[in-house]
Amino acid sequence: MEKFKKSLIVVCLLFLSGCASVMHGSTQDVGISSTPDGAHFAVSLADGGSSITEGTTPRVVTLKRKHAYVVNFEKEGYESGSATLSNQLSGAVAGNILAGGLIGWAVDAHKGADRKLVPENIHVELKPQQATIPAHTSPPKEIKSNDQQQVRPPPSS
């Protein structure tokens, strides 16, 4: 009977811990927003490369957990901005190693399911562009006209 209890506990722990691939998947939804709304954004890999996805804020995008990303923001009349999404080892890895052993962890590591994107939501406040004033301005030119009209007061009654 004692052996049965121990076996039951082990089986329950296996079901409760689960592997990260099944529990979390290899992708994650990330909210992207800005102040003001309506900024164009482009998501690219942090180690360089072309844009993976782009859109207009606010929006939720689905990204692979195994990569780190850079999100660039642009809006007319505002300075551009950027934010970084890093991928960190998830806390579920320890349970996965206990439950699934090194094979389970290796599968999750290959898929990126052992990681999470941080932060889960990105918000960037874009600053208005400063008005530019020319460095050298010349005084306005005087305009001369030969057609001068005479202004008369209205007739009195």
Residue 77 gets the label, from left (phi > 0), alpha (psi -120 to 50) or beta, of: left
pLDDT of residue 69: 97
Provide the CATH topology of domain 8-125: Immunoglobulin-like (2.60.40)
Measured distance CA(108)–CA(11) in Å, rounded = 21
What's the pLDDT tens digit per position in 61-99?
999 998 999 999 999 999 999 999 999 877 665 666 666
Helix segments in the chain, DSSP class H: 2-17, 20-23, 93-111
What's the pLDDT tens digit per position in 21-47?
555 688 999 999 999 999 999 999 999
pLDDT of residue 3: 77
What band does 17 get if pLDDT is binned at 50, 70 and 90?
very low
What's the pLDDT tens digit per position in 97-127?
666 666 666 766 666 677 899 999 999 999 9
pLDDT of residue 59: 98
Per-residue burial over 108-134, b = 16 or more CB atoms within 10 Å of its CB, e = otherwise: bbebbbbbbbeeeebebebeeeeeeee
What's the pLDDT tens digit per position in 139-149?
666 666 565 55
Give φ, ψ of 147 to 5 degrees.
Answer: -90, 85
What's the pLDDT tens digit per position in 40-55?
999 999 998 789 999 9
pLDDT of residue 99: 60
pLDDT of residue 14: 47
What does each C-alpha distance from 42 to 35, 39, 80, 84 come to in angstroms? 16, 10, 12, 12
Which 8-state DSSP code applies to residue 78? B
Q: Where are the domains of the chain?
A: 8-125
Place of tokens 């900024």: 39
Contact 58, 32 (CB under 8 A): yes
Q: Give DSSP secondary structure letters for 37-62.
A: S--EEEEEETTS-SEEEEEESSEEEE
Tokens of 33: 């927003």
Statement: the pTM of the whole predicted model exceeds 0.75 = no
Selected residue with higher pLDDT from 11 and 69: 69
